[in-house]
Amino acid sequence: MSSSSANTRPDADNPLLDFTDLPRFGEIRPEHVTPALDVLLANATAAVERASAAVTPASWADVVEPVERATEPLSRAWGVIGHLNAVADTPELRAAHGENLPRMTEFWSSVGQNLALYEKYKALNASADFASLTGERKKILGNALRDFRLSGAELPEDQKPRFAELQERQAGLSKSFSDHVLDATNAYAYIATTDAELAGLPEDVIEGAREAAQRDGKEGWKFTLHFPSYFPVMQYSENRAMRETMYRAYSTRASELGAAYGNGKAEWDNTAVLAEELKVRDEEAKMLGFRNFAEVSLAPKMAESPEQVMAFLEDLATRARPHAQEDWKALREFAASELGLTDLQPWDMTFAAERLRQKRYSFSENEVKQYFPEDAVLKGLFKVTETLFGVRIRRDEATTWHPDVRFFRVENQDGGLVAQFYLDLYAREGKRGGAWMDDARTRRRRAEGDVQTPVAYLTCNFSAPVGGKPACFTHDEVITLFHEFGHGLHHMLTRVDELGVSGINGVEWDAVELPSQFMENFCWEWDVLSDMTSHVETAAPLPRPLYDKMLAAKNFQSGLGTLRQIVFSMFDMSLHVDFDPSGEKSANDLAREINERFHVIPQASFSRWPNTFSHIFAGGYAAGYYSYKWAEVLSADAYAAFEEAAQARNGSVLDVATGTRYRKEILEVGGSRPAMESFKSFRGREPNIDALLRHNGMTPGATH
């Protein structure tokens, strides 16, 4: 259907069918979802049928292009719906999203299993025309052939319905998992009624809790399990009973214990959901001829096998363990001698760690936070980006899904538009926790010859401004913002015109975190920080002595932090290699075993953290959680190039020549070549682990 005929149709007033520019967030309603998808799915299905028809020549112009042209608006509209479902959840929207999820899953699985279409791609790959394709198109073709195999295109016809059923079931289970976590998080509130319960909590946290109670028409102070409310209680509250109550509620969310501790409901228990997800994944892997799901997950990644990943994690655990033991011993001794906590419980850890950090380095997170008001942080982030990558960032106008959301444009030096992004920074009801970057639109060259510029969503869950003051961010939140912006740059600064490998498309999953983790490093540089801090009361920049303390504290408990990540990664990998979800042992038992094997801190007997491990049960990281650590090796080593440039030239890490090279070799190429090639083109060699160990203070003999 050509775009001109689209406007004369009765559905032309459906905002989800308007792709002329940005999404019309002010007008999209739940009732638009199904009719829009009816049109888009019909167009996409027709394009797939035409492309796979026997008479259609196996060429790029007759097969790949038409399918891409018809599926791109479908993905875009569904992306808008999914985005709204994550940031502006309402029962109506959730229902519309849930009703259509099976249709979307079914469509994509039918494309992936379409043998006739697969044959066209294979014929194109083997044809004389193949040699004349650009490198980008060859890469898209190679990725597509692999994805067909992983989608079950080579399965016997009689097995395909079952495989499609498994895919659909998996999508439904992951949605249920995520909904249960959100519902269980939303259900609990701790209402403090006396001043004694607030002892130790920072002013802004108390103010936020008071405003939250007022919104509910209640007296007192309301604390929830959403992270910006929950974590400060763990970190600062002197009321041990309150910490314990909230910890128990937090660590049993979406489990069989949720009702006992967190006002949960039995139907939110994810125990059976995750066990079934594992069964479905295992059956899917076996159907495709793999030994386990971990092998399926690694097929499109940099890592070569589950064994290689586990060996990498074990090696890192061995290097981190002595540092972690030292961290744990210091924490216990301090808690016993200084805080009178001779029996250190899980709900005491964060509190004791914060007190030890304050004593050792004599500053608190909250003191630092006052130097990071939102505007100063954004100015600093934009300055780093503008300096290194030769772009300009300015405010722009667009309709959004919430008044707090802002919109920006990225321009080249000559004022030409490169990309745009939405920035949604604060936590609120109806918004999923965590932080992420998602694409609203991907760069590609249109049939008309012009370029569609990329648009990104950058979503965080920081504390909103309270009491008429600007929002101030903890240093950790500043790091999170830089991290997500790194993903955003990967998506926005691509120069690739082919949709399938543009931006983060087609980038191996375990390399996707390289640009995000890379950006985090700048949050520790004096010349960057001195420029992006301004005390909320006095406007003074961050004092050098406070910075020196932050730097000294940077690797505080990094041994423990590393082991915690290894427990998550190892648990994820083991679940998908040889765990039997129907056996005697539950996923929570396995989590406990792995914790005992790799961590130095015991786990609470009631903890049910696998039940909220959304990354692997609802977020695409199944048998892929290791990629955070894997990519950290790459990002630390890439950043070391900037440190070396600063040393060589006695200058700043904001080295323009290195920034230009990084933009060209890593960001611009997107997924158009293997990540390892991009890394080697930038660094001139294979990655090594030394920079990561150095950045984490874990070189042999390092003291904490």
Q: Which of 101, 85, 89 is nearest to 37 (CA)?
A: 101
H or E stretch including 12?
Answer: none
Q: Which of 414, 471, 407 is nearest to 440 (CA)?
A: 407
CA distance 598 to 321: 8
Backbone φ and ψ of 47, nearest 5°: -65, -40
Backbone φ and ψ of 425, nearest 5°: -95, -25
Those residues whose C-beta lies under 8 Å from the C-beta of residue 301, and which sit 6 or more positions away, are 508, 509, 510, 624, 627
Alpha helices by DSSP H, listed for 134-202, are 135-150, 160-187
CA distance 234 to 61: 58
CA distance 674 to 571: 28
How many Cβ atoms sit within 10 Å of the Cβ of residue 597? 12
Residue 538: CA count within 13 A, CB half-sphere = 6
CA distance 220 to 368: 28
Does residue 484 have an active-site annotation?
Answer: yes
* The token pair that represents 605 in the structure block: 């007997």
Tokens 């997170």 appear where? Answer: 365
* The token pair that represents 610 in the structure block: 């696998």
Q: Which of 693, 695, 694, 662 is nearest to 679 (CA)?
A: 662
CA distance 622 to 619: 8
With b meaning 16 or more CB within 10 Å and e meaning fewer, what string describes 426-454?
bbeebbbbebbbbbbbbbbeeeeeeebbb
- The DSSP letter of residue 528 is H
H or E stretch including 198?
Answer: none
Convert 291-360 into a string of H (helix), E (strand) and C (coil): CCHHHHHHCCCCCCCHHHHHHHHHHHHHHHHHHHHHHHHHHHHHHHHHCCCCCCCHHHHHHHHHHHHHHH
Q: In 3-state terms, what secondary structure has residue 407?
A: strand
CA distance 592 to 608: 9
Query: Which residue in the list 136, 365, 374, 484 is annotated as catalytic?
Result: 484
How many Cβ atoms sit within 10 Å of the Cβ of residue 85? 23
Report CA 564 to chain centroid distance, whole Å: 18
CA distance 662 to 635: 11
Q: Which of 7, 40, 69, 5 is nearest to 448 (CA)?
A: 69
Residues in a beta bridge with 395: 408
H or E stretch including 601?
Answer: none
Q: Report yes or no: 276 and 188 within 8 Å, Cβ to Cβ.
A: no
- What are the Cα distances from residue 223, in Å, to 150, 211, 426, 460, 544? 45, 10, 16, 19, 35
Q: For strands 455-462 and 436-441, give the pairing.
A: antiparallel
- What are the Cα distances from residue 82, in Å, to 25, 101, 124, 171, 431? 13, 10, 34, 13, 12
Active site residues: 484
